[in-house]
Amino acid sequence: MEQKSRLAEPIIRVTNVSKVFGRQKEQALELRRSGQGKYMVEQETKTTVAIFDANFEVKKGETFVLIGLSGSGKSTLLRCLNGLVEPTEGMVFLENDDIAHMASRQLQQVRRNKIGMVFQNVGLLPNRNVIDNVTFGLEIQGVPANIREKKGKDALELVGLNGQAYKRIYELSGGMQQRVGLARALASNQEILLMDEPFSALDPLIRRDMQKLFLDIQGEIQKTVIFVTHDLDEALTLGHRAAVMRDGEIVQLGTAEDILSQPATDYVKQLVQDVDYSKIRLAKSAMIPVEIFAYENESPQVVLRRMKTNELSSVFVLDKQHHLLGFLDIHKVAELVDFHKQNLIGKVDGQIQCVHPDVPLRETLPLFINNDFPVAVVDHQNRLEGMITQNTLIASLTEQIKAAEEKGFESYQMEVGQI
pLDDT digit string (tens) for 149-186?
999 999 999 998 988 899 998 888 888 898 998 899 88
Determine how many CB atoms are found less than 10 A away from the CB of residue 125: 11
- Buried b / exposed e along 199-237 (16+ C-beta atoms within 10 A): beebeeebbebbbebbeebbeeeebbbbbbbbbbebbbb
CA distance 281 to 279: 6
Lowest mean pLDDT among 6-10, 61-65, 229-233, 249-253: 6-10
Asked if 124 contacts 169 with a C-beta cutoff of 8 angstroms, the reply is: yes
Structural domains of the chain sorted by starting position, each given as residue range(s) with its CATH number in brackets: 10-114+190-275 (3.40.50.300), 284-416 (3.10.580.10)
State residue 8's pLDDT score.
64
By the 8 A CB rule, do 199 and 178 touch? Answer: yes
Collect all residues with Cβ–Cβ distance below 8 Å to 157 and sequence separation of at least 6: none
Please, what is the average pLDDT of the chain?
87
- Kind of pairing between the strands at 48-59 and 63-67: unpaired
Residues contacting 142, CB < 8 A, separation 6+: none
Residue 268, pLDDT > 80, answer yes
Q: Is 341:332 a contact under the CB 8 Å cutoff?
A: no
pLDDT of residue 163: 85
The pLDDT of residue 52 is above 50: yes
Distance, in Å, from the CA atom of 122 to the CA atom of 130, rounded to the nearest integer, reads: 13
Q: What is the phi/psi pair of residue 387, to 5°?
A: -150, 160
Give the mean model confidence (pLDDT) for residues 53-58.
96
Judge contact between 52 and 249, C-beta under 8 A. Answer: yes
Sheet of 384-388: strand order equals 354-355, 375-378, 384-388
What's the confidence (pLDDT) of residue 273? 80
Q: How far apart are CA 185 and CA 183, in angstroms?
A: 5
Mean pLDDT of the 239-253 span: 95
For residues 182 and 187, what is the distance between their CA atoms, to the nearest angstrom? Answer: 9
Residue whose C-alpha is closest to residue 159's, from 236, 216, 92, 84? 216
pLDDT value of position 399: 57
CA dist 87 to 98, 250, 260, 272, 418, Å? 11, 16, 31, 30, 60
Question: Of 116, 286, 308, which is closest to residue 196 (Cα–Cα)?
Answer: 116
Q: What is the pLDDT of residue 360?
A: 82
Contact between residue 81 and residue 228 where contact means Cβ atoms under 8 Å apart: no
User: Residue 274: how many CB atoms within 10 A of its CB?
Assistant: 8
Q: What is the per-residue pLDDT for 2?
A: 44
Is-contact 100 92, C-beta < 8 A? yes
Q: Would residue 98 be called left, alpha or beta, if left means φ above 0 and alpha means ψ between -120 and 50 degrees?
A: beta
Q: What is the pLDDT of residues 274-332, one digit of tens each?
A: 777 776 778 888 999 999 999 999 999 999 999 999 999 999 999 999 999 999 999 99
What is the rounded CA–CA span in Å between residue 277 and residue 400?
12
Helix, strand, coil % (nearest 5) of the chain? 40, 25, 35
Confidence of residue 401 (pLDDT cuts 50, 70, 90): very low
CA distance 116 to 275: 30
Residue 406 has, within 13 A of its CA and on its CB side, a CA count of 5
